[in-house]
Chains A and B, each alone.
Chain A
């Protein structure tokens, strides 16, 4: 059974940092594409970042230079390091696995989500 279990959310002050984790079971992150998506309160889904199996990363403009996606293949876990946090980063953050075929990718499995609140 595939499971993505997230941890690391919470309350952080503006300008602060937080690291989210997403522990995967049921498949290997070393062979899969993994991604982060967030959802601000009452808003829609916003894609943030992807890490390919070989380690190549891409980011949305809204977080480029502030957020870093990474993974530890030995722990089968991906991370999102968030620096210089702003109030507008307040959201539920989801990790997800991507299935890619014929040039397109979709999210086949999702984590449970973790709330990040940026406030003084």
Chain B
């Protein structure tokens, strides 16, 4: 099955830009979606289809996807962005969803 790899943790200072990567074989040919999960809460969709923001998600959140790496980019990071972030793709060949292992974003 398809495997997605994320770094376990990323740290960033307030006001700076955070980049969280999601690696997969030729992931650039897949549509990648990103979720934010705060402790004790359900995940929330922050980016879908590589780079589209759902309504209500700040413009500071953006995404890119090319080659073997998709990236979630959070600009002007705030303390409230501290959370776990997961990438996800839908494997249409097996009708299954695949999640990355998750990345804990720490705001210094």
Q: Are the CB atoms of B99 and A46 closer together than 8 Å?
A: yes
Q: Are the CB atoms of B30 and A104 closer together than 8 Å?
A: yes
Which residues of chain A are near B44, meaning CB under 8 Å?
A: 110
Query: Which one of A7-15, A67-75, A78-86, A94-102 contacts B?
Result: A94-102
Q: Are the CB atoms of B99 and A104 closer together than 8 Å?
A: no
- Listed residue (B35, B42, B84) with the most chain A CB atoms within 10 angstroms of its CB: B42
Q: Are the CB atoms of A107 and B43 closer together than 8 Å?
A: yes
CB distance from A60 to the nearest CB of B (A): 7
Q: Are the CB atoms of A110 and B48 closer together than 8 Å?
A: no
CB distance from B88 to the nearest CB of A (A): 7
Partner of B88, one of A94, A107, A112: A107
Q: Is B45 engaged at the interface, CB distance under 8 Å to the other chain?
A: yes
Which residues of chain B are near A46, meaning CB under 8 Å?
A: 99
Q: Are the CB atoms of B49 and A104 closer together than 8 Å?
A: yes
Q: Are the CB atoms of B49 and A44 closer together than 8 Å?
A: no
Q: Is B28 engaged at the interface, CB distance under 8 Å to the other chain?
A: no
CB distance from B98 to the nearest CB of A (A): 7
